[in-house]
Amino acid sequence: MTADTSARYREFKMPDVGEGLTEAEILKWYVQPGDTVVDGQVVCEVETAKAAVELPIPYDGVVHALRFDEGTTVDVGASIITVDVAPGTPSEAPAAAAPATEPEPEAEAAEPKGRQPVLVGYGVSEASTKRRPRRGAAAVPEQGAAAAAIQAEMNGVPAPATLSRPLAKPPVRKLAKDLGVDLATITPTGPDGIITREDVHAATAPAPSPQAAPVAEPVQAPVAATPAVVGRETRIPVKGVRKATAAAMVGSAFTAPHVTEFVTVDVTRTMRLVEELKSDKDMAGVRVNPLLLVAKALLVAIKRHPDVNATWDEAAQEIVLKHYVNLGIAAATPRGLLVPNIKDAHDKTLPQLAESLGELVSTAREGKTTPAAMQGGTVTITNVGVFGVDTGTPILNPGESAILAVGAIKLQPWVHKGKVKPRQVTTLALSFDHRLVDGELGSKVLADIAAILEQPKRLITWG
């Protein structure tokens, strides 16, 4: 379908909802041609390599056309919906609109720079493009100036100079709102004066000058891919979360030299403490389970051995020590494996940690985890015990130095105070990056976690 380039029709393009992602799959349309939409109304749900995200339309009007069907993977920058922003207005005015069949001139792209690594895989290549101005731009109604500026910032083009509203993508606006930052007070560093996520963070705390966000190269979007049944086999297209997970795991497994150590521990006292905490008034309203105390034990172990909380910077040939812990929790969801993290988990009390853990898990299961919630993790826990298995050899989340696997807690015969008694036992496995974590350090961290779970009073004496 050829896009109508008249002033009354606006093309809403697929935004980069994840800071560097190159594509997204359209999961569901909430509108159809002929429906009336208003500024800020959610028109569709898309799935990126990191999460499912709802997209709001940035102007008022009537839906003219949907450019892609549900299930189609669309490149960032491609038009996905056309909106008539002046319904009822005659469209024959030759000075106001170019013919609908007139093709866009090809962009004169400069030689692309190197692809920049992001949380999972690689971002898009940086490029510069030049396009001739569309005819009829001057015919945009004055009352539609705000909508035009918002669409401009979503599409990565300059906004009208007369608009005073700061330019920022929806995820960045939400971040600023959550942090209590006024966008009008921020000096933008992104392309064409757009405020980036780094600009918002820089406004709340001193930080190095951020680099400009990569600009997506619009290319023709592929058609929707569906599972193909041939004979006794079914071929399922690899996309979305599964595609991102595969790239991340391959990259991690063949980049970081993994070492995995195991320890079997009696957690009977920890399980008793879990039951006691469930009736504690300070823990009212939050979920208390063994994972909560495992998480607290890991945080105490990191406090005692802070060098394990680090990352390897290959480009700079440096080990970066993190003085904060963003604790990742691997979550199995209908869309695949997600690893959201609890920000600044090291500063949280046990009730606060329980509340954050509950919110993180429930949000992931509902498919509402945001890309921001999965960025910046420093260490991860994967609870394979919920599937009834003893343990595993977990693969590091890219950019992290350690991941702890927790096995099933089972009643087993155990020598306790010189006698064989039934005790609740589990097996822990710690994988770490051997480039920056030596065997001694990894062993001490795992031993500390086991010691705390065996004698949970160490949460007080060591914490």
The set of catalytic residues is 434
Helix (H) or strand (E) holding 145: helix 145-155
- Three-state secondary structure call for residue 203: helix
Strand residue runs (E) in 176-216: 194-195
Q: How many helices, marked H, and strands, marked E, lie in the chain?
A: 9, 23
25: left (phi over 0), alpha (psi -120 to 50) or beta: beta
Token output for 214: 């990569």
Establish how many alpha carbons lie within 13 A of residue 430's alpha carbon, considering only the half-sphere containing its beta carbon. Answer: 28
What whole-number distance in Å separates Cα of residue 183 and Cα of residue 56? 19
Residue 389 near residue 252, CB atoms below 8 Å = no
Strand partners, 424: 411
What dihedral do alpha carbons 163, 191, 16, 123 form, nearest 10°? Answer: 180
Strand segments (E) across 417-463:
419-433
Distance (Å, whole) CA 447 – CA 158: 56
Please tell me what DSSP assigns to residue 376: S
